[in-house]
A and B are shown apart, each in its own frame.
Chain A
Amino acid sequence: MSRVRLPVRRPWRLAAEATALLVAAVVAFPLYWMLLGAFRPAGEIESTEPRPWTASPTLDSFRRVFEQHEFGRYFVNSLVVAGSVVVASALIAFLAATAVTRFRFRFRTTLLIMFLVAQMVPVEALTIPLFFLMRDFGLLNTLGSLILPHIAFSLPFAVWMLRGFVRAVPESLEEAAYLDGASRARFLWRILLPLVLPGLVATSVFSFISAWNDFLFAKSFIISDTSQSTLPMALLVFYKPDEPDWGGVMAASTVMTVPVLVFFVLVQRRLVSGLGGAVKD
């Protein structure tokens, strides 16, 4: 750590640290307020004198969320969607990243540009053609209609990011493996994959978020089968502009945010170093 630290004079450092703590508090405040709102009794939320604490925390809002709707089911649905997208896009992106970093072939650069350009595509605008495509596949109203497009949309960025990790594995390792008589497949799955795993984790954060956040596809493709709804849709049930049930909204938001938070904290180290690694190469 000391390598980076500048010789900063003490008062300045204290000021910097105070600023950092203050900023951290401001940044964390919305999340704190969300938790607070989720645990507050109903009367206190609708009070015009909001206080930054609560004397009588209650689980009422959570109970309302889980009772009124099949929230548990939506939660599982969201997990299924995000999980499938993460696994599928990680594997596919891993193969593609290996191809573009460890081989030379015609159109390699073209493909790389294509992966970059593919990130530009405004996903929302594609809702229209995707709707018709999913309809023709007979996938509307199923979780498949959410999983497939998200795999496609998270792939380009994943490939782009994974390149750095794949490239960082020394080529001597590959040669050594072949000298030992390993097949290409064996090298790929037994040697390269474990080494690139931290990169895959960092990458999967992005695909996880995009799939977990999805709101537009769920809104457009899950037409009438409420058993296939996902969390964002369920959240909107509580947010009715004319009479929002803020307690319910905050409780539902909490339920929706916590898994992502846990995921982030788990992969936090790899994310920080991973992002550094990905953009540097």
Chain B
Amino acid sequence: MRRTTVAPPAKRSAPATGARRAPATTPSRRRGPRPRGGWTPWLYLAPALAVLGALLVYPVYQLGLISFLEYTQAQVSGGEPTRFRGLANYTDLFADDQFGQVLLATVGFAAACVLGTLAVGCALAVLLTRVRALPRLALLLAALGAWATPTITGSTVWLFLFDPDFGPVNRLLGLGDFSWTYGRYSAFLLVLLEVVWCSFPFVMITVYAGIRAVPGEVLEAAALDGASQWRIWRSVLAPMLRPILGIVTVQSVIWDFKVFTQIYVMTGGGGIAGQNLVLNVYAYQKAFASSQYSLGSAIGVVMLLLLLAVTLGYLRLLRRQGEEL
């Protein structure tokens, strides 16, 4: 596997050590020749800003607005006037037991998915560096396959694998006609397995690329000192990979917190008596099945705020490490 990027080799081996490459050490390279383009950068940015403004910022604004209104089917059809309700939608939401449960389930489920994905991804990335070309290629290709699988096909295929009547998994584990989607936790576990399956490749490949950029001498020195595998990972690799780990963690949090298709398809829209609802699906059901658009929007806003908090935490972390954006 040869590298074919445009990056000059000198830059490629160093950057994983983000903490060391503080911007202050190379001020002339970073700041000096970069042209002050006047209006040019804005010209380049114009299409992106236009698209984002119209299709992201404006809808987010509308989402916020709807969450303060009384907005149900009657209003949408124009039968009744929209009414400003202030925070009433939010108080309704937080007074609802089910919302609390769904919120808790979402956070717990996302956390489990992130941990599972990171653990599997990192472990396999390290494993990749320990094996010769053939097993490595096999694992890489399998991972790419899992990554490439569209979410919806992944969900249906996993359902089929765990089908109580026709699936091979129950047969293999001798579980008879145990129904995975019936119990709350077994259903979550099934979805979790699918989520980890389709999202660990991103972590694995990214971390693997990062480890390869770590100078061999460092690792050799550590190994000669008699450090164990786990110690090498903890004391040498992990600190060097911290920027990469930061990014894959944040991406995983973003993706896993927003899981929709898997839950929707695998648990049939939220499971028995709504036991497997997560915020995203809950918002969708509230809005589109029950036509309570304002409640659905309020749930969306809560999700947005939670993710925003994660992002801000991440940015703070970056800043403390002296990273430049």
Contacts and interface: CB of A to CB of B under 8 A. Distances in A.
Chains A and B touch each other in the complex, with CB atoms below 8 Å apart: yes
Interface of A: 1-8, 12-13, 16-17, 19-21, 23-25, 27-31, 33-34, 37, 45-50, 52, 91-93, 95-96, 98-100, 102-105, 108-109, 111-114, 116-130, 132-133, 148-149, 151-153, 155-156, 159, 165, 168-171, 175, 184, 195-196, 198-199, 209, 212-213, 215-216, 220, 231-232, 235-236, 239, 241, 246, 249-250, 252-253, 256-257, 260-261, 263-265, 268-277, 279-281
Nearest to A216: B260
A126 to B, nearest CB: 5
B261 interface: yes
B89 interface: no
A279 B244 contact: yes
Contacts of B152: 213, 215, 232, 235-236, 256
Interface stretch (B35-43, B97-105, B184-192): B35-43
Nearest to A175: B33
Contacts of B160: 33-34, 37, 246, 249-250
For chain B, what secondary structure do more than half of its interface residues adopt (helix, strand, loop), or is it mixed? helix
A165 B5 contact: yes
Nearest to B18: A280
B173 to A, nearest CB: 13
A96 B45 contact: yes
B301 to A, nearest CB: 8
B154 A30 contact: yes
Given A16-B131, A46-B166, A215-B261, A127 B284 contact: yes
Shortest Cβ-Cβ A-B pairs, 6 listed: A125-B300, A276-B209, A152-B55, A129-B62, A253-B153, A99-B44
Interface of B: 1-8, 11-12, 15-16, 18, 29, 31, 33-37, 40-42, 44-45, 47-48, 51-52, 54-56, 58-60, 62-63, 66, 124, 127-133, 135-136, 138-154, 156-158, 160-161, 163, 165-168, 171, 197, 202, 205-206, 208-216, 219-220, 223, 232, 243-244, 247-248, 254, 257-258, 260-261, 264-265, 268, 279-280, 283-284, 287-288, 293, 296-297, 299-301, 303-304, 307-308, 310-311, 315, 325
11 contacts: A1-B133, A8-B130, A19-B127, A20-B138, A23-B142, A24-B139, A109-B325, A128-B63, A130-B59, A155-B51, A159-B48
A55 B49 CA distance: 57
B283 A125 contact: yes
Given A121-B56, A250-B160, A27 B12 contact: no
Given A33-B161, A171-B33, A279 B210 contact: yes
A261 B145 contact: yes
B216 A4 contact: yes
A279 B299 CA distance: 32
A212 B56 CA distance: 20
Nearest to A171: B33
Contact of A220 (B40, B60, B288): B288
B52 A155 contact: yes
Contacts of B214: 4
B311 A117 contact: yes
B150 A232 contact: yes
Given A20-B138, A235-B156, A171 B34 contact: yes
B5 A199 contact: yes
Of the listed residues A46, A123, A169, A277, the one surrounded by the most CB atoms of chain B closer than 10 A to its CB is A277
